[in-house]
Amino acid sequence: MAEEVKKSRPAPDPNSAKYKLGQIAAKAYSDAMEAKKRGEMVGWCSSNFPVEIPATLGLYVCYPENQAAGIAARGGGERLCSVSEGDGYSNDICAYARISLAYAKLKEAPEQDMPMPDFLLCCNNICNCMIKWYENISKELGIPMIMIDIPFNPDYEVSDAETEYIKAQFWDAIRQLEEITGKKWTDERFKEVMESSGRASRMWIEATSQARHVPSPFNGFDLLNHMAVMVTARGTKEAGDAMETLLKEYKDNHDKGVSTFRAEEKYRIMFEGIACWPWLRVTSTGLKSRGINMVTTIYADAFGFIYDDFDGMCRAYANVPNCMNLEHSRDKRIKLCKDNHVEGLLVHTNRSCKLWSGFMPEMSRQIGEACKIPVASFDGDQADPRNFSEAQYDTRVQGLMEIMEANKGGNK
């Protein structure tokens, strides 16, 4: 039997955005691990919790959604989901939650380890499923849970009543965290964090908006990796620096006429929904092989937290995807489609996410009509590999491509 010959890959350029962003994402885990070893308290935090709060208090937090995505992308999704199902959790429950509940039980996963939590920071602006998931972990592990409730907004704008409610909860959460951890809030530190978060957000939005160029200077799948930094570290100076490097690279790519999309860009689409992490390569290849570049996603907008003061921060966290009404959600996507010259919309009907998928058929119809672009959907799951069919994906993408081609006049 011949020995496996591994191709040696060139050492990554430590000055590249990819390297810097990868380091920041990895460091978030290693810093938390080291903090735990030193005896410091570590929290688990939902992805759209106002990270400015733990960052200002100097707390180490990890992100179970990010961990679950990592575990799923590295092939561990089904194994951990099965552990939770064995405990009695339905396989209809969000796969991130199933993975996380399994990890809370097993306390280790070779795909992505994370220190066990001393407290939980939950925010339901992404979904109410998050509440139940964290309730169960809080009860199982006997640790405090801090819940910031940001209700689904039925209106276009965030009302004063909602802002006031959110603001009171933010201060309540800060007070509780001070009590639990002994750390102290200072307005000076908050100002620094707010500025870092704002800088990282501006750079992120500006970088992702480079997709307005035709061809795009980047492959949209890059964003799915880079956004991890916006989730876990947007309140840090390093995140802003790395995002600035990313922006510069994308601008340089455009100037030089190159792209990280390693194929001829024949079609440009928006990808709707969370990535199919267990099938990332398949979903990416299915597009690239047809010359389809996913030039934008709602993530391009979602992690842009730009505000000027504490009240502004409260409103920003109420204006995240899954917390906005259909019209507001639709208009943000229409803008992304138009700004980035999108020719088709590919919708991931994500079995794990009832909220994201529950009004997507109507919203995507409206986006398609407003932008005069075809819409195709496929069934999948963000982390459970069993809920995806490669053949269906292939057929749907092919269909979308044929309509985009016809719209270009290619099939006349």
**Three-class SS state of 241:** helix
Q: What are phi and psi of 381, to 5 degrees?
A: -155, 145
d(C-alpha 60, C-alpha 70), whole Å: 19
Interface size with another protein, residues (CB under 8 A): 49
Q: Which residues of 167-181 are buried (b: 16+ CB within 10 A; e: fewer)?
A: eebbeebbebbeebb
Q: Does 389 bind another protein (CB under 8 A)?
A: no
Q: Does 276 bind another protein (CB under 8 A)?
A: no
Minimum Å distance from CB 114 to another protein? 21
Minimum Å distance from CB 325 to another protein? 6
HEC sequence for 54-73: HHHHCCEEECHHHHHHHHHH
Among 75, 361, 399, 410, binds another protein (CB under 8 A): 361
Minimum Å distance from CB 295 to another protein? 25
* Residue number with CB closer to another protein (146 or 230): 146
What is the CB neighbour count within 10 angstroms for residue 150? 23
* Residues 341-360 within binding reach of another protein (CB under 8 A): 349, 351, 354-355, 357-360
Q: What are phi and psi of 293, to 5 degrees?
A: -105, 130
In terms of Cα–Cα distance, which of 379, 394, 375 is closest to 269? Answer: 375
Of 20-28, 48-56, 154-162, 264-272, which part binds another protein (CB under 8 A)? 154-162
Contact between 305 and 329 (Cβ < 8 Å): no
Q: Does 151 bind another protein (CB under 8 A)?
A: yes
* Residue number with CB closer to another protein (216 or 350): 350
Among 34, 157, 172, 390, binds another protein (CB under 8 A): 172
- Residue 170 identity: F
Of 38-46, 85-93, 252-260, 276-284, which part binds another protein (CB under 8 A)? 85-93
Which structure tokens are listed for 342? Answer: 């999108």
Of 39-47, 107-115, 134-142, 239-247, which part binds another protein (CB under 8 A)? 134-142
In terms of Cα–Cα distance, which of 231, 187, 386, 219 is closest to 292? Answer: 219
Of 37-45, 84-92, 246-254, 262-270, which part binds another protein (CB under 8 A)? 84-92
* Residue number with CB closer to another protein (137 or 194): 137
* Residues 53-82 within binding reach of another protein (CB under 8 A): none
Q: Does 149 bind another protein (CB under 8 A)?
A: yes
Q: Does 165 bind another protein (CB under 8 A)?
A: yes
In terms of Cα–Cα distance, which of 101, 148, 146 is closest to 124? Answer: 148
Among 152, 202, 291, 403, binds another protein (CB under 8 A): 152
d(C-alpha 245, C-alpha 112), whole Å: 27
Alpha-carbon dihedral of residues 187, 56, 225, 36, nearest 10 degrees? Answer: 180
**Site of interaction with another protein (CB under 8 A):** 87-90, 92-94, 97, 124, 127-129, 131-133, 135-136, 138-139, 145, 147-149, 151-154, 159, 161-162, 164-165, 168-169, 172, 325-326, 349, 351, 354-355, 357-363, 379
